[in-house]
């Protein structure tokens, strides 16, 4: 993944646990101290960082990935890519429908990248089906954290349920999202 993803993992760990913990995580993972945002790195770098964070923080990978999804939205996307995250005239549902388009717009910036793909099906006013396609394994908790924070960004709250793998059109992962306005 591009360096900015690894750089964001670094940012999350430093913000929440401090520099010394980051140093511990990155030395266990055997990675550099920081990353070049616009340079592609092997996915193994990102997975090693998460693996080392699991050991150092004594937290399950799912929790770390979920927190990273939230952090990506609250501290990276809405800050550095505010125009892409604009809520003007856009709803949570519109934003999700447009995610593939958004990732393809930034292909200019990240020519070698491999973004995910999302298919959205409206089931009712407050319920949608989301199929997540990726060439990568294990990032579902990251997607959940992303969805939760994106919903909040659009003034919504969301509850995510997973549809059993057996019923899925592989290689995607299917989720059902119940959503509605955040309570005042
Ligand atoms: C607005 C700013 C955003 C930027 C600049 C951005 C950029 C990127 C980049 C560079 C990657 C790494 C892919 C690679 O290097 O091969 C990535 C991955 C990913 N992005 Fe985005 N993204 C943004 C927002 C979002 C949002 C809002 C979501 C979902 C709600 C999202 C979902 C994902 C997921 C799930 C991955 C992991 C890759 C995978 O599943 O295979 N991104 N994105």
- What pLDDT is recorded for position 73? 98
Q: Ligand 1: residues within 6 Å at CB?
A: 1-2, 4-5, 73, 77, 81, 84-85, 99, 103, 106, 110, 113-116, 134-136, 139, 142-143, 146, 150
pLDDT tens string for the chain (184 positions)?
Answer: 999 999 999 999 999 999 999 999 999 999 999 999 999 999 999 999 999 999 999 999 999 999 999 999 999 999 999 999 999 999 999 999 999 999 999 999 999 999 999 999 999 999 999 999 999 999 999 999 999 999 999 999 999 999 877 766 667 899 999 999 998 8
Question: How many other CB atoms sit within 10 Å of the CB of residue 159?
Answer: 12
Q: What pLDDT is recorded for position 52?
A: 98
Rounded to whole angstroms, what are the CA distances from 102 to 47, 124, 159?
25, 24, 24
Angstrom CA distances, 82 to 21, 25, 74, 150, 176, stand at 29, 30, 10, 13, 27
Q: Ligand 1 pocket: which of 116, 152, 153 to mutate (most atoms <8 Å of CB)?
A: 116
CA of 184 to the centre of ligand 1 (A): 30
Domains in the chain: ranges and CATH:
3-59 (no CATH), 89-181 (3.90.1520.10)
What gap in Å lies between CA 142 and CA 144, rounded to an integer? 5
Helix extents (H) in 58-121: 61-71, 78-80, 92-97, 99-105
Write down the pLDDT at residue 164.
76
- What pLDDT score was predicted for residue 172? 87
Ligand 1, atom 30, lies closest to the CA of 146
Spatial distance between the Cα atoms of 160 and 171, rounded to a whole number of angstroms: 19
């Amino acid at each position: 993944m591009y360096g900015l993803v690894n750089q964001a993992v670094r940012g999350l760990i430093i913000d929440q646990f401090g520099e010394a913990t980051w140093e511990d995580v990155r030395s266990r993972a055997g990675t550099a101290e920081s990353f070049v945002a616009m340079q592609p790195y092997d996915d193994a770098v990102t997975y090693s960082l998460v693996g080392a964070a699991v050991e150092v923080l004594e937290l399950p990978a799912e929790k770390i990935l979920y927190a990273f999804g939230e952090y990506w939205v609250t501290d990276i996307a809405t800050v550095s890519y505010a125009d892409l995250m604009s809520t003007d005239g856009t709803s949570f549902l519109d934003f999700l429908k447009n995610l593939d388009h958004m990732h393809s717009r930034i292909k200019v910036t990240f020519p070698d990248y491999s973004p995910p793909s999302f298919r959205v099906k409206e089931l009712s006013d407050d319920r949608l089906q989301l199929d997540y396609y990726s060439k990568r394994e294990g990032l579902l908790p990251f997607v959940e954290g992303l969805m939760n924070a994106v919903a909040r960004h659009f003034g919504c709250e969301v509850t995510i349920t997973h549809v059993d793998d057996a019923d899925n059109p592989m290689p995607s992962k299917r989720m059902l999202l119940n959503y509605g306005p955040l309570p005042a």
